[in-house]
Amino acid sequence: MADENPTIDVMESAPFIVKGLKNLYDADGNTIEMEKEVIALCRCGASKNKPFCDGAHKEIDFTGANEAGDATPTREYEGEELTVVDNTNVCCHAGACVQGAEDAFFTWEGDERVSTPDAASAQQVIDTIRKCPSGSLAYKLKGELQDQYFSTAEIQILKDGPIAVRGGVVLNNPDGAQPPTNSHYTLCRCGHSKNKPYCDGAHSDAGFSDAS
């Protein structure tokens, strides 16, 4: 397994099974010790041993079904220097785009939110996209997609939020819905996302807490 990428198996109405992972961190970047080579991460939100599964999904009749419906096509917005690639299907609503370059990412045409790459400097847009944890946003330079930002395979458990996966960890998803990039994506662990296994920001409305 040493020469292979770590994997995450999406189990039906059960935890994420993670194999071959060397780097697991809490929200502050501290190492979380793993007692086994294969670990089970809670995704129902009810475990008393977060981030690990304690079997609570069975008690609450957790379902891992995706309820998001049909996928929205990936959209591209071309600017003078770069093209913004927007895949809203995996957006976790972390707010990186709002905080980094609001004018570039939150303009409106009628009822549709669109991206306007030239409303901010190219470097500001790039820096903002690279902070998007879900992989929902990427960019193209001279027609070449830029979406690989992490070289070390790792998982970070974000405080009261999703599982942030980085660096090429392979997602084995039985329904076939793969993240736009395996460089970085976010998985739901509160149990409330309509877009399972991906985070859709539902933890905020649900009041999900690591302490519960």
Q: Give the Cα separation of 74 and 181 in Å (integer).
A: 13
Q: Could you say which residues of the chain have pLDDT below 70? A: 1-3
Q: What's the predicted TM-score (pTM) here?
A: 0.93
Q: Which two tokens stand for residue 141?
A: 């330079």
pLDDT attached to residue 1: 42
Q: Which pLDDT tens digit goes with each residue over 112-134? A: 888 999 999 999 999 999 999 99
pLDDT attached to residue 3: 60
Q: Which of 59, 78, 90 is nearest to 182 (CA)?
A: 90
Q: Which pLDDT tens digit goes with each residue over 161-174? A: 999 999 999 999 98
Q: Give the Cα separation of 105 and 116 in Å (integer).
A: 6
pLDDT attached to residue 74: 92
User: How does 20-45 read in b/e, with b if 16+ C-beta sit within 10 Å?
Assistant: bbebbeeeeeeeeeeeeeebbbbbbb
Residue 164 DSSP one-character state = E
Per DSSP, what are the bridge partners of residue 18?
A: 8, 39
pLDDT attached to residue 44: 97
How far are the Cα atoms of 46, 86, 184, 201 from residue 41, in angstroms, in the given order? 11, 29, 17, 18
Q: Give the Cα separation of 49 and 157 in Å (integer).
A: 13
